[in-house]
Amino acid sequence: MRMLKAQWLSIAAILILLTVWLIRGAIGQTDDTNHVREQLSVAQKEYSDEKELLIRLKNQTQHQLSALTLKLGEIKGQVNRLDAFASRLAQQSEIPDDEFNFDTLAATGGPTTSSAEDVTANAENLFSEMDEMLVKLDGQERKMAVLESILMNTHIEEEIFISGRPIQSGWLSSYFGVRKDPFTGMPATHKGLDFAGEDGAGVIATGSGVVTWADSRFGYGNLVEVDHGDGIITRYGHNKELLVNVGDIVTKGQKIGLMGSTGRSTGPHVHYEVLKGGKQIDPLPYVYRKAN
């Protein structure tokens, strides 16, 4: 009886061990399946992300190419208008057409594609057109530079030629040279001309040049100084208000200030000086000389 009981216990133990082993195997298979499922899920997500990124990049590229096509069309239009303007300028300046023919290498038309797919398919043609446009612009830029040089050489002497009065209205009130100082009553050298007028009247440049001073200076009050090149400088003192800044390019007859009485002054006027080689000279011959 005891032997039979022991045998049953042994069989029960074996069954228990077998059951445990089967359960562990089932659990292991489940773990492997879950692991594979996790890897598959990750791979699917990565694929989905890559696909979404590719679609986004494609749409972005198509959008940029479309914008680029439109921009190229705008540039062509601007270049054509510039060509027309330069051609008229060359004709007015009586420059031979065969030397400055701005119609040469003119751009023709633009991309005829309308859909994003067509634009993408013809991207190489688009960039080829851009290269041609750059070559055209480079050539036109050189022509414009030469044309500008010719025009500047033609008119520069007339523009920088100092002549006329530095005021729009008023009268000559004091000459260059020794005079009675209005403050001390003693003889003193006056190194310019005074033009009196109404407060706020226009002060004008007597020639084209570059503004080298536009601020207050002792004795001059609010002063404008213009460099005309070739060692010639003009000064306009006692302004009520300055209308230009240092570095500005002014033209002959341009209003550069308003007449006032700032600085060492007894009333509204402009103190006008002409300097040659850094030395004040009598401006009177320049005031009455005939313009070119």
Torsions phi, psi of 240, nearest 5?
-75, -35
More confident residue, 9 or 258: 258
Checking if the pLDDT of 119 tops 80, the result is: no
Please tell me the distance from the alpha carbon of residue 249 to that of residue 211, in angstroms, as a whole number: 6
Strand, coil or helix: what is 185?
coil
Instruction: Give residue 33's pLDDT.
Output: 57
Please tell me the distance from the alpha carbon of residue 159 to that of residue 228, in angstroms, as a whole number: 9
Mean pLDDT of 174-182: 88
pLDDT of 62-107, one tens digit each? Answer: 777 777 777 777 676 666 666 665 666 566 555 555 545 555 544 3
Please tell me the distance from the alpha carbon of residue 17 to that of residue 218, in angstroms, as a whole number: 113
Q: What is the value of pTM for the model shown?
A: 0.49
Please tell me the distance from the alpha carbon of residue 146 to that of residue 135, in angstroms, as a whole number: 17
Give the HSE-up count for residue 234: Cα atoms under 13 Å, Cβ half-sphere.
29
pLDDT of 213-240, one tens digit each? Answer: 999 999 999 999 999 888 899 999 999 9
Mention every residue, 6+ apart, whose C-beta is less than 8 A from residue 284.
175, 176, 193
How buried is residue 227: exposed, middle or buried, by Cβ count under 10 Å (0-12/13-18/19+)? middle
